[in-house]
Amino acid sequence: MHPPRNGVARILLGALMWTLALAACAPGPESPPGEEAPETGAGEHPVVYGNDDRTDVYAHADTLLRERARRSTVALMSPSSINTRDPDNVTFSGGTLGSAEGLCSDQRFRDDPAPAWCSGTLIDDDLVLTAGHCVVDAGECADTRFVFNFYRTSATALQPITTQDIFSCRSIVVRREATSGGRTLDYAIIKLDRSAAPRFEPAPIRPGNTPLAVSAGIAVIGSGSGIPFKIDSGGKVRDGRAGTLDYFVANTDTFGGNSGSGVYDLESHTVAGILVRGTKDYVARGGCFVVNTCAETACDGEDINYVRPAIDAFCQASTSTRLCGSGPPPTGGASFTFTAAHTASATSNTVNKSVTLAAGQKITLGTCGVTGSALTGDSFLRLFGPTGVQVAANDDGCGGRGSHLSFTATVAGPYEIRAGCYSAESCSGTVAWTLTSTGPAPSRGSLEFSASDTNHAMANTVNQDLPLTEGQSLSFGTCTEAGASGTGDTVLRLFNGAGQQVTSSDDACGLLSYASYTVPPGAGGTYQLRAGCYDASSCGGVVTWTIR
C-alpha cells in the first residue's frame, strides 16, 4: 500500500488491526516472579531513536501539548472494539499491548489496552485530519469511530470515556494516497457526524507553506500501537524535502497506530504534519518481542506528510472560516501548456496537472472545444481520481485529433489531468478546463430496520418512500454509503410508483447490500425502498441513501 524505504519500512498500522485481532486471542508472556511492571510515565530506556521519549499525557511537562492531547486528539477504532452498555463508562474489548504484540516483560506500556488502529487531530469543530490509508472509502468511513479522551490520568487510571466522546464518520471530505509528479501524499480530512465543540477544541494549523528546517523540534500525539495517547516531544527533522514539500523525515518515537497522528512544530505548537510511515516497530528477542532500537541518526526515520497539501485540497473542495475562509467551492477554469513525445497514448512521460473538485462539480477539459485550448499534433488526455484510478479519457475529440472530455466528481478531492500524445507521436498545445456546479448539494437519509422471514425482501419488509425526479441518481445500501451498517444477510429492492422493481442488491459487500439507480427520462414520482433479508433469515441494520 505504501512504497518501502530501503526495504524495511512498514505501513503504520494499516495491518496492525489484524495483528491485534489475532494476537489478542493468545496469552501474553508472564512477568517473572518478583519482577515489577515497567512504569508508564516518562522513561529513559535506550530504545527507538536514542531515548524513548514517549510520555503519558498526565506526565508530560508541556502544558500546551497536554491540552492538545486532551482536547484535540482522537483514536480511530472499530465499533466492535467499543463497549457502550454503560453510556457513562465506555470500555474497550481486546487484549493489552503485551498480548497483542507478544512483548517481553520489560517493555514499557505492555499492560495498556490496545484497541485503536490509527490516530487523528480535530482541526475544525467537526473535521478530523488523519492519514489517507486510515480511512480508505465510504465503507471504512461508516465502520470507524473517533474517540476523544483516550489517555491516562495517572499510572493506574484512564480518563473516563462516555458515549458523548465518541463520534462517527459522516463523510470523507478530501483524501489522497498516491505518488504523482514526484510528490507522495497520504492524507484525509473526515467530517464527523456532529460538532465536537465546545467540549473539544480544534488544534491550530501551521501557517504558510515553508519547509521545516533540519533539526527543528517536533512533537507527536497519538495512539502508537493502539494504546492510550502518548506524547513524544523529542523528535528532530532530518530532511525537510524543500524541493517537493510533500512530506518530511524525522526521528520521532512512533509506532503503528500513530498513523494519522498530528505532528506539531514545537516553535509554534501548531500542526505541521501527519504521521504516515515509519521503520519496523518491534523485533524478536528470544521468544518475545522488544521495541526496535535505532540511534538518533540511524534507520530510515519516520515520514510525516506536510499538513498544507491536505488543507489546500480541503479549501478547494469545501469551506471553513477557520481553515480557509468562507465561500463556495471554486468554479471558472484555468489551463496549462504541454509538450510531449513517446507517451504511449498518455500512459507514460505525460505532463500532469492537479485540479481539486468538490463532490458534484463538473470539469470539462480539452485541447479543443474549451476556450483557451490549442493543439499541434494528436493529443491524448486522461483524468485520474483521488485514489489514482482513471475516471475519464479521450483521444480524438471535436471531430479531429484533439481531445475533449467531461466528468462529474462523485467524490471530493484532487484529480489529475495527464496530457500526452497518441501512440509514440509528438504533440504540444494548451489544455484548458472549466469547472461548473451541477446543482444543489446531495440529500441524504437513513432507515433503521430489523426483519425476518422476508423471502428475499419480497414480503414483511421495512419500507421507505423516496420522491425522485427525472435525471436524479439514488445510491443506497447497508454498506458503502456513509453511516450504513448491517447484521445478517440483507437484501434491498427499489420499486417505482407503478410497483415495478427497478433495481435490487443482495451480496454487494459480503452479505450486505448496495445499489444505485438513475431516474430515466420521462420517469419520476414516489419510489419505494424495501429492506429485507436473504431467504427466511433474520437481519437488521441501517440503510442509508444519497440523492443527487
Mean pLDDT per 10-residue run, the chain (548 residues)? 30 35 33 33 42 90 93 96 94 87 89 93 96 93 96 95 95 91 92 92 89 94 93 93 93 83 92 87 86 80 93 85 64 80 94 82 91 93 85 91 89 84 95 77 80 95 90 86 85 93 89 89 90 94 87
The CATH-assigned architecture of domain 48-309 is Beta Barrel (2.40)
Enclosing H/E stretch for 475: strand 473-477
User: What count of other Cβ atoms lies within 10 Å of the Cβ of residue 335?
Assistant: 17
- Cα 11 to the chain's mean position, in Å? 14
Nearest 5°: phi and psi at 69? Answer: -70, -45
pLDDT the model gives residue 471: 80
Q: How far is the C-alpha of 94 from the C-alpha of 247, rounded, in Å?
A: 33
Q: Quick check: 151 and 58 in contact, CB under 8 A?
A: yes
Which residues, at least 6 apart from 22, have a Cβ–Cβ distance to it below 8 Å? Answer: none
Residues 411, 359: contact at Cβ < 8 Å? yes
- Please, is 531 exposed, middle or buried when counting C-beta atoms within 10 Å of its C-beta (0-12, 13-18, 19+)? buried
Q: According to CATH, where is 2.60.120.380 located in the chain?
A: 335-437, 443-547
CA 454 – CA 537 distance, rounded (Å): 8
Sheet arrangement for strand 390-394: 351-357, 413-421, 379-384, 390-394
Phi-psi region of 198 (alpha: psi -120 to 50; beta: other; left: phi over 0): alpha
Give me the CATH code for the 443-547 domain, please: 2.60.120.380
pLDDT at 7: 29
DSSP 154: E
For the chain, residues classed under CATH 2.40.10.10 are 48-309
Dist. CA 291–CA 253, nearest whole Å: 10
User: At which residue does the C-alpha cell 470507524 appear?
Assistant: 144
CATH code linked to domain 335-437: 2.60.120.380
Helices (H), 25-167: 63-72, 97-101, 138-142
Contact indicator for 326, 319 with CB cutoff of 8 Å: yes
Residue 18 phi, psi (nearest 5): -70, -40
pLDDT for residue 19: 36
